[in-house]
Amino acid sequence: MVNAPVYMDYHATTPVDSRVLDTMLPFFTEYFGNAASVQHRFGWIAKESVEIARKKIAHAVNAQSREIIFTGSATESNNLAIKGAAEAYRSKGNHIITTQIEHQCVLESCRMLERNGFNVTYLPVDRSGMVNINSLTEAVTKQTILISVMMANNEIGTIQPVATIGKLCKERGIIFHTDATQAVGKLPVDVEEMGTHLLSMTSHKIYGPKGVGALYVRSRNPRIAVEPQMHGAGHEHGIRSGTLNVAGIVGFGKAMQLAIEEMEKENGRIFSLRNRLQKRLESISGTTVNGHRIERLPNNLSVTFHGAHADQIMTAMSDVAVSAGSACTSEEIGDIQYSHVLQAIGLNAEAGRSTIRFGLGRFTSEAEVDFAAERIETVVAQIRERTAVGIS
């Protein structure tokens, strides 16, 4: 028995795990101190709790505690990393390299830097969403100071060869930033093995609360400088000012701890469910799975249903929560926007507006997968029949 609506938009956000909520609750009423108030017990408890969470997050990515800077979101972390590094190293060069399928906050940060005199190369990707290392290498100039390539794409799930990119950056003396928002908690993340200098992440993608993110900033071999984007009392080693969200940070730490402890077992379960759903959907004529077939997030499934527009599918299938990609868009087509990611991997306008993203998660069941598959099969057939589109 399935309780509708079924949630399959885990890339957008996740519910807070009850174990995380239980850990957070005392910090709203009992341990409510400001972590910067070091003159009394309330502040001591808050500060200690923040540092415990910081250690958990650092451990999860093989970093030092002092290298984890808390922010308000992954968007803020990406802005801080890209703008902060660009400003800090401007005397060494003004060239930045990224890809065409980055999160919109990365692309918009780069566009802002372009307006301020920086040159940015937006690398294309292949039809699976993978960046070409040879093209990346050829794009490097003597002025290149920063390369930003996301670890795993939020729409099509493709996992980039970040360790190879990290090695290139180390050899060329270039700062390497990766947006690991979708990867942390789902994939092994090791900043040492990946050669990462800056890494963005957030809580609400791993069953923690919204409103808290983090940025890893390498402190040794080499020590990375980041120009603050928020100024105030110099919190977080002077990199990010503002009163810390103690309850949120505590929840983030607990969520990260659970994600790492349960990753291997959970990934096996999710991978099996994803493949079950994929097999059902691929049996529908006129469908195409997007993203890399192997190097892809275990919970991700992006499918184009040729001849059935995403807005029509979602309207008719209100009992299953999915999305037409992400909120990051590049081109408007009628009443629906055409994702810049789908455009970059070669989908035309018609295919782009006929694509659905399924995101499975910790609380997805086999029964829900079967329910969603049945609903999609029915709805797509009805839409195609109504619009008289012939799909062979």
Residues 233-270 pLDDT 10s: 889 999 999 999 999 999 999 999 999 999 999 999 99
pLDDT band (50, 70, 90) for residue 334:
very low
* Distance, CA of 291 to CA of 354 (rounded, Å): 15
C-alpha angle 154/156/248, rounded to 5°?
20
* Distance, CA of 191 to CA of 214 (rounded, Å): 14
pLDDT at 332 over 80: no
Per-residue pLDDT tens for 268-308?
999 999 999 999 999 999 999 999 999 999 999 999 999 99
Q: Who's near 219: CB < 8 A, 6+ residues apart?
A: 64, 66, 67
247 and 318 belong to one structural domain: no
292 and 363 belong to one structural domain: yes
Catalytic residue of the set 105, 110, 169, 328? 328
Token pair listed for 286: 């006129």
* Distance, CA of 331 to CA of 279 (rounded, Å): 31
Q: Is 355 left (phi over 0), alpha (psi -120 to 50) or beta?
A: beta
CB 347 within 8 A of CB 333: no
Q: How far is CA 267 from CA 162, 184, 292, in A?
A: 20, 12, 17
What letter would DSSP give residue 95?
Answer: E
Range of the structural domain that residue 200 is part of: 18-257
pLDDT of residue 392: 43
Q: Is 328 a catalytic residue?
A: yes
pLDDT of residue 1: 79
- Decide which of 236, 257, 278 is a domain's last residue: 257
237 and 217 belong to one structural domain: yes
Classify each residue of 78-106 as buried b or exposed e, where b means 16 or more C-beta atoms within 10 Å of its C-beta. Answer: bbbbbbbbbbbbeeebbbbbbbbbbbbbb
Per-residue pLDDT tens for 353-372?
999 999 999 999 999 999 99
pLDDT of residue 387: 83
Q: Is 1 within a domain?
A: no
Q: Who's near 62: CB < 8 A, 6+ residues apart?
A: 189, 190, 191, 192, 193
* Distance, CA of 55 to CA of 50 (rounded, Å): 9
Mean pLDDT of the chain: 95
pLDDT band (50, 70, 90) for residue 328:
very low
172 and 317 belong to one structural domain: no
Per-residue pLDDT tens for 137-179?
999 999 999 999 999 999 999 999 999 999 999 999 999 999 9
- Decide which of 224, 257, 290 is a domain's last residue: 257
Q: Is 349 within a domain?
A: yes
Give which of 78, 80, 29, 23 is closest to 249, Cα–Cα: 23
Sequence letter at residue 279: K
pLDDT of residue 120: 98
Give which of 231, 241, 245, 238 is closest to 217, Cα–Cα: 238
117 and 231 belong to one structural domain: yes
The crossing angle, in degrees rounded to 10, of helices 104-115 and 74-88 is 30
252 and 330 belong to one structural domain: no
What is the 3-class SS of 5-67, one letter each residue?
CEECECCCCCCCCHHHHHHHCHHHHCCCCCCCCCCCHHHHHHHHHHHHHHHHHHHHCCCCHHH
* Distance, CA of 325 to CA of 11 (rounded, Å): 9
pLDDT at 333 over 50: no
Q: Is 209 within a domain?
A: yes
More confident residue, 193 or 38: 193
161 and 52 belong to one structural domain: yes
Instruction: Say how many C-beta atoms besides its own lie within 10 A of residue 2's C-beta.
Output: 14
Helices (H), the chain: 18-24, 26-29, 41-60, 74-88, 104-115, 133-139, 162-172, 191-194, 246-282, 310-316, 340-344, 349-352, 366-387
Q: Is 330 within a domain?
A: yes
Per-residue pLDDT tens for 111-125?
999 999 999 999 999
138 and 233 belong to one structural domain: yes
Give which of 83, 36, 32, 31 is closest to 232, Cα–Cα: 36
Q: Is 80 within a domain?
A: yes
Q: Is 174 within a domain?
A: yes
The pTM is what? 0.95
Token pair listed for 211: 């409103």
Residues 212-238 have a mean pLDDT of 95
Count of domains for the chain: 2
pLDDT of residue 327: 44
Class of residue 187 by CB neighbours under 10 A (exposed 0-12, middle 13-18, buried 19+): middle
pLDDT of residue 326: 61
Give which of 125, 160, 152, 356 is closest to 267, Cα–Cα: 152
pLDDT of residue 336: 58
By three-state DSSP, how is residue 298 classified? coil
CB 64 within 8 A of CB 58: yes
Q: Is 287 within a domain?
A: yes
pLDDT at 390 over 70: no
CATH code of the domain covering residue 313: 3.90.1150.10
Backbone angles phi, psi at 296, to 5 degrees: -145, 145
56 and 147 belong to one structural domain: yes
Q: Is 392 within a domain?
A: no
66 and 95 belong to one structural domain: yes
314 and 234 belong to one structural domain: no
- Decide which of 229, 257, 285 is a domain's last residue: 257
Per-residue pLDDT tens for 13-69?
999 999 999 999 999 999 999 999 989 999 999 999 999 999 999 999 999 999 999
Pairing state between β 320-321 and 144-148: unpaired
CATH code of the domain covering residue 171: 3.40.640.10
80 and 222 belong to one structural domain: yes
